[in-house]
Structure 1
Amino acid sequence: MPNQQLFFIESLRTLYEDVQTKRIFADSKFFVDCVPKYAADEILKKYADKRNTTEFNLKNFVGDNFILPEEKISAYSSAKKTIDIHLNDLWEELKRTPGESGGTLIPLPHQYIVPGGRFREIYYWDSYFTMLGLQVSKRTAIIENMLDNFAYLINQFGFIPNGNRTYYLGRSQPPFFALMIHLLSEEKGETVFTKYQTAFEKEYNFWMLGEEQLNSEQQCCNRAVRLADNMVMNRYWDSKDEPRPEAYDEDKHIAETSPGIPSKTYLHIRAAAESGWDFSSRWFADKKEMKTIQTTDLIPVDLNCLLFFMEESLLKMYKLQQHEIKIKEFQLKVENRYKAIQEFCWNEKQGCFFDFNFIEHKQQEHFNLATVFPLFFKIATAEQAQKIATLIKEKFLYSGGVVTTIYKTGQQWDAPNGWAPLQWMAYKGLMNYGFTELAITLKNNWLSNCEKVFAETGKMMEKYNVMDTTVTAGGGEYPNQDGFGWTNGVYLKMKSE
């Protein structure tokens, strides 16, 4: 696909800030997804000429100068369909065609699946869990199309953005590209590793960018952090230190209430958005309020498990090629990452893996489901897995699945909410260590929750209340969304196991 001129919502700075701060749309993402009918400078000139006139109406001005987003799934009905038929039919409704573009949307060369609802573009880590369902539905071609799209984005921008929008180009999301490659290899064999190796190496280099600059004076650079004994781990980061366009007014408000300087607060907010857990008390110093957000100070255990798997996957690729120098290099990286996760993230007393605050040189003792990632990637020892299984049973397991954290804060990645990707990671992690009965209980509770909501609404949701299945999930910057890509994928995959 030839390079196309990309549109950045920030080019409409005055107008975009006014629209967002005056909240003329219920959802802050709505305006940044609009498609301008005219060039940015032309729209801004008209705005400057008309904004102070007595008859001026901002919402009408937007309607006259932009094509508003449409909800493509609205015509689809699940009436009289079983949940399995609904989910298989829904793939066609969530599919987007190659080359779709306009406004902030970055065109992609191949078909892809969107989550649904307000999420009108591809999302990075969502897509892996969506692919689990596509695999069950035997839609291998679109899995490969989506991998090809991610490789395209890596080649265009050097990394996989949060989603294919220009306002996401400052950050990525949890790096699940390696898991996607492994999933496709289950269907198409080991040639898949060769096909995506170059793109995968570039993505790994993106996450490690700045590693060579780390020393005793410079502890962190971008997403790389140097700890004791020259161990290098990773954090979430964003290259921009200003409000997110899709949540401009919300971010401004948080910065105004935060004791820190605004630019630093914006970095913490954006880094939390890169984590996918936006937002959770996991990132808050006091475990309660977002004004204490400190994301970039933390070494997240789940992210470093994903980097461990990236390094294991690159080692596998180099072994297939018998590349001895690279084999030795990545054997050492895998060993060091394993040691670092064990040393900095495991807490024997609490029986839990925690994030590590490298600024304060201590663990952030916050109980959340990131602790299951070392089980999913087989990093935990048998003794550690036993402690975590006990923790899951005692603190996280409810009638509707496992809860994201044990804290009720009103944030969507906190209690009482459960999310499909973490159900899957917890389920597979427990199965890896032989906790079959607990894993199956978790699975059945989650599937029943999804089925109950579907029976009542005809929809699959982005998140669920797992503590009280009679209550709809809530919290966060926007209402619960239906669709929903990763919920569909995990449901189908879990049910097939």
Structure 2
Amino acid sequence: MFISGYGARALVAATTVFVTFVQAKGPCDSEIYCQGDLLHAIQMAKLYPDDKTFVDKPTLKPPAQVLANFAEIGGANASREALQKFVNDNFGQEGSELKSVDLTELDANPPFLNNVSDPTLRAFGKTVNGYWSTLVREQDYSTLCNGCVSSMLSLKYHFVVPGGRFRETYYWDTYFTIEGMLRSGLKDLTRSSIRDLLALVDLYGFVPNGARVYYLGRSQPPLLTLMVKIYYEHTKDAAFVAAALPLLQKEHAYWQSNHLVNVTKPDDSGVVQLSRYIVDTDQPRPESYTKDYELAHNATTDPDIQARIYADMAAGAESGWDYSTRWVKYPLAPTDRLLYGIHTRQVIPVELNAILYQVELALDSFVAIANSSSSSIDYRGLAQNRRNAMYSMFYDQPSGLFYDYILDEHQRSTILSPASLWPYWSFGASGEGGASQPHEGGAWANVAFSPVSRILGNSPGGFPATLYNSGQQWDYPNAWPPLQYVLMQAALITGHTDLATQLAQTFANSVFCAWYKTGGSIPGILEKLPNTTDTGHMFEKFDSTQVGKEGSGGEYTVQAGFGWTNGILIWTLDTFGKSLVAPVCPAAMYKTVIALIAALAVAMAEHEAAAAAAAAPAVTVANAPAGVPAVPAVPAAAPVAVPAAGAAGVVVAAAPNGAKPAATGSSKPAADDKKSAASPKAKPSSASPKESANASSSEAKVAKDENSAMSSATANINTSLAAVVLALTAGAFSALY
């Protein structure tokens, strides 16, 4: 059955209900979801914290009726309250045209688990493997009325969503997701996901950013051909490659015609062609409407400059790095004004060209696999030309790194990011020697990877997107799973196995500890943390400065799910699992310290009670008041060993009655005063009044000395315990923060 959304007209379920759709062949012109007074009024009213909420809602009435109802409430002049009621009456729940899928293909014990030595990580991998069933969706328009519309693009097959606010399939996410799906044995689901993207190419000529009508004006990093490549490597399905080839060639032609730019070499020795992210629009992004509108209007009153900002913001979203100092003219500008200087279309990005280099070589191999004689394009020649152009424009010989080229500045950028190492993966994966070898006097790969090792040594949560702490999500301190994957691939393919393993361990630590901190547990292996009510989150990004902390910044709150994190973790466990060990997470350390503090507090309370009892005068036959029964003297308390912070153990013993306590820290026992102990068989005293008075005075002095010594001992214990607690707490929190 063909299930439809925008771009087609289809029978829904088994009924005769027809759904009307906008036939969108280019950028969306929907007056509900993409542009016009209705969209502007609702988004600027800020009815929802996230602009994406409204544009993800299907209509409850046909579009013409929705627009008429909008006009009736005053259109662009309607009050906020009227707009909220209008939305409630005319739109359904976002995501209601999707439903979960029973993933019968899922293997509870996929083969990749055999490559994981650590039992805790193996159990964690098995747990994450089970998450696929929570992220698989299919479209279901049976809930829509006759003629009602949704912003969803039509997808015929099952697909995986990233999670959270991302309720649809996304282009470049899918590559990293299927790296894990294939290792989970989900070959049919992988095939379906790829076929959905191929169908979008067939309909629109390219893969949109995501499967929404408001994404039709832009794409994302073109990884579809590489998805087919890794699918073929796992299945050897040559027929699938042959069927996909014409559509993959169609997508490549789109990138060649829409994103290619001529660039003059720095030495003026000629012109080369390279690709960039570029979007033709003069409107805010519908899913981030208020962000774009307010940015442009705060930056300038010039409509032309506002239009430029809209286009560069859209191009930044096309890059997948939305947003980063890589795309701005002034990376040190204040956070609230950083994006005033966005100029994405002036940046020739390293990773886009590295990807297209791999795409062109893959297409060359696919032509051979498909035994196709219909292609007259020399893809290998295109790849070689692109590689040479990349060395001319991006390569910094002293450092061995590749940097973006800035068109309007006629120079390379100085911003280091994982993209600077991306060509090492692309060139090495080509099997043509790669950039790991000296190239025309260039630096060796170990020179290029030295900053990776150094930065990673100070980044326990992963390698940051850049070193600029701008407040944007694709900058410091965020560590993104796809970027960790690229660095691992680049390090592996250039022989930096130890560094690749370190990257893998760091990534696994972050994912595992963030999941554990948010309630993750494994029956019989890992106990759930107290005071956690959830079951563990897989986050889209992480904080590079801390183990197990989710990332932050950007246009929306951090999302959980999460497709590419799950996929890259499974790939990491499969690739490096023999060398990885389960981390001791800060949350677990905190739990241990809290338990130790509680135990020390109990010990302190018990000792204080014993000390107080030992210091109190005994009620004996000789001094018992009338009517109070005599009781034996309080026995000596047992010694309490308390380790002083930063020193050897200190033992303080509660002294027997009539004896002075041992000096703090001394191993010499207290002197025995045999005469001070009262004996039940002792004869009545025959001492003279003077002797009795002297004895009473002596006893009072001894009691005073005892109380003084006991108070001093208790104070020493309290001080020592406090020091231990302080030291342990400081150590725990330094590990945490």
The aligned amino acid for 2:496 is: F
The answer to whether structure 1 residue 6 and structure 2 residue 6 are counterparts is no
The answer to whether structure 1 residue 45 and structure 2 residue 68 are counterparts is yes
Q: 1:327 to 1:436 in 2, by over 3 A?
A: farther
The answer to whether the 8 Å contact 1:32/1:245 transfers is yes
2:84 aligned to which of 48, 59, 65 = 59
Superposition deviation, residue 287 in structure 1: 1.2
The answer to whether structure 1 residue 307 and structure 2 residue 356 are counterparts is yes
Superposition deviation, residue 326 in structure 1: 5.4
- The residue that corresponds to 1:78 in the other structure is none
- The residue that corresponds to 1:347 in the other structure is 396
| TM-score for the superposition, normalised by structure 1 | 0.91
Superposition deviation, residue 53 in structure 1: 7.6
Output one character per residue of 1:345-379: Cα deviation in whole Å (capped at 9) or x when no partner. Answer: 01123442111112322111111111121011124
**1:152 & 1:326 partners in 2: Cα distance?**
21
**1:91 & 1:347 partners in 2: Cα distance?**
42
Superposition deviation, residue 59 in structure 1: 1.7
**2:420 & 2:79 partners in 1: Cα distance?**
58
**2:79 & 2:445 partners in 1: Cα distance?**
67
The answer to whether structure 1 residue 453 and structure 2 residue 494 are counterparts is no
**1:329 & 1:116 partners in 2: Cα distance?**
40
Superposition deviation, residue 127 in structure 1: 0.3
The aligned amino acid for 1:144 is: R
Superposition deviation, residue 304 in structure 1: 0.2
- The residue that corresponds to 2:262 in the other structure is 226
1:93 aligned to which of 134, 140, 144 = 134
2:130 counterpart SS class: helix
**1:286 & 1:493 partners in 2: Cα distance?**
37
Output one character per residue of 1:390-441: Cα deviation in whole Å (capped at 9) or x when no partner. Answer: 1211235511221111110110001110111111110011000110111101
Superposition deviation, residue 183 in structure 1: 1.0
1:481 aligned to which of 548, 559, 563 = 559
Superposition deviation, residue 239 in structure 1: 2.9
Q: 1:387 to 1:256 in 2, by over 3 A?
A: farther
1:226 counterpart SS class: strand
Q: Which is worse superposed, 429-438 or 371-380?
A: 371-380
1:274 aligned to which of 307, 318, 337 = 318
- The residue that corresponds to 1:399 in the other structure is 460
Q: 1:325 to 1:46 in 2, by over 3 A?
A: closer
2:131 counterpart SS class: helix
1:208 counterpart SS class: helix
Superposition deviation, residue 448 in structure 1: 0.7
**2:362 & 2:463 partners in 1: Cα distance?**
29
Matches within 5 A, 1:47-196: 47-51=70-74, 56-70=81-95, 83-98=124-139, 102-189=149-236, 191=238, 192-196=240-244
| Structure (1/2) with the larger helix percentage | 1
1:460 counterpart SS class: coil
The answer to whether structure 1 residue 380 and structure 2 residue 459 are counterparts is no
Superposition deviation, residue 325 in structure 1: 9.5
Superposition deviation, residue 241 in structure 1: 2.4
The answer to whether structure 1 residue 208 and structure 2 residue 256 are counterparts is yes
The answer to whether structure 1 residue 433 and structure 2 residue 471 are counterparts is no
1:145 counterpart SS class: helix
1:256 aligned to which of 297, 304, 324 = 297
2:500 counterpart SS class: helix
The answer to whether structure 1 residue 243 and structure 2 residue 291 are counterparts is no
In structure 2, the gaps of 5 or more residues are: 10-19, 23-27, 101-121, 265-269, 333-337, 429-433, 438-442, 519-535, 576-737
The aligned amino acid for 1:385 is: A
Q: 1:490 to 1:53 in 2, by over 3 A?
A: closer
**1:54 & 1:235 partners in 2: Cα distance?**
42
The aligned amino acid for 2:31 is: S
2:474 counterpart SS class: coil
The answer to whether the 8 Å contact 2:259/2:276 transfers is yes
The answer to whether the 8 Å contact 1:9/1:16 transfers is no
The answer to whether the 8 Å contact 2:161/2:168 transfers is yes
Structure with greater Cα Rg: 2
1:231 counterpart SS class: strand
Q: 1:269 to 1:372 in 2, by over 3 A?
A: same
2:495 counterpart SS class: coil
- The residue that corresponds to 2:604 in the other structure is none
RMSD: 2.4
**1:53 & 1:447 partners in 2: Cα distance?**
51
The answer to whether the 8 Å contact 2:512/2:548 transfers is no
**1:335 & 1:54 partners in 2: Cα distance?**
59
- The residue that corresponds to 2:477 in the other structure is 416
Superposition deviation, residue 320 in structure 1: 3.8
- The residue that corresponds to 1:217 in the other structure is none
2:538 counterpart SS class: coil
The aligned amino acid for 1:117 is: G
- The residue that corresponds to 2:545 in the other structure is 467
2:483 counterpart SS class: helix
Superposition deviation, residue 73 in structure 1: 10
The answer to whether structure 1 residue 360 and structure 2 residue 374 are counterparts is no
**1:233 & 1:83 partners in 2: Cα distance?**
42
- The residue that corresponds to 1:24 in the other structure is 47
Superposition deviation, residue 68 in structure 1: 2.0
Question: Greater relative contact order (Cα 8 A, min sep 6): structure 1 or 2?
Answer: 1
- The residue that corresponds to 1:199 in the other structure is 247
**2:504 & 2:550 partners in 1: Cα distance?**
19
Superposition deviation, residue 107 in structure 1: 1.7
2:331 aligned to which of 271, 278, 287 = 287
Output one character per residue of 1:164-219: Cα deviation in whole Å (capped at 9) or x when no partner. Answer: 1000000110011121011110222151321210110000001011xxxxxxxxxx
Superposition deviation, residue 467 in structure 1: 1.4
- The residue that corresponds to 1:218 in the other structure is none
1:69 counterpart SS class: coil
In structure 1, the gaps of 5 or more residues are: 75-80, 210-221
**1:476 & 1:483 partners in 2: Cα distance?**
18
The aligned amino acid for 1:207 is: W
**2:134 & 2:271 partners in 1: Cα distance?**
49
2:412 counterpart SS class: strand
Superposition deviation, residue 443 in structure 1: 0.6
The answer to whether the 8 Å contact 1:124/1:162 transfers is yes
Output one character per residue of 1:288-345: Cα deviation in whole Å (capped at 9) or x when no partner. Answer: 4111111001110000011111111121123346668958822321211110111100
**1:307 & 1:401 partners in 2: Cα distance?**
26
The aligned amino acid for 1:196 is: A
2:162 counterpart SS class: coil
**1:462 & 1:199 partners in 2: Cα distance?**
30
Q: Which is worse superposed, 302-311 or 255-264?
A: 255-264
**1:320 & 1:483 partners in 2: Cα distance?**
36
**2:208 & 2:386 partners in 1: Cα distance?**
24
**1:411 & 1:202 partners in 2: Cα distance?**
34
Superposition deviation, residue 38 in structure 1: 1.1
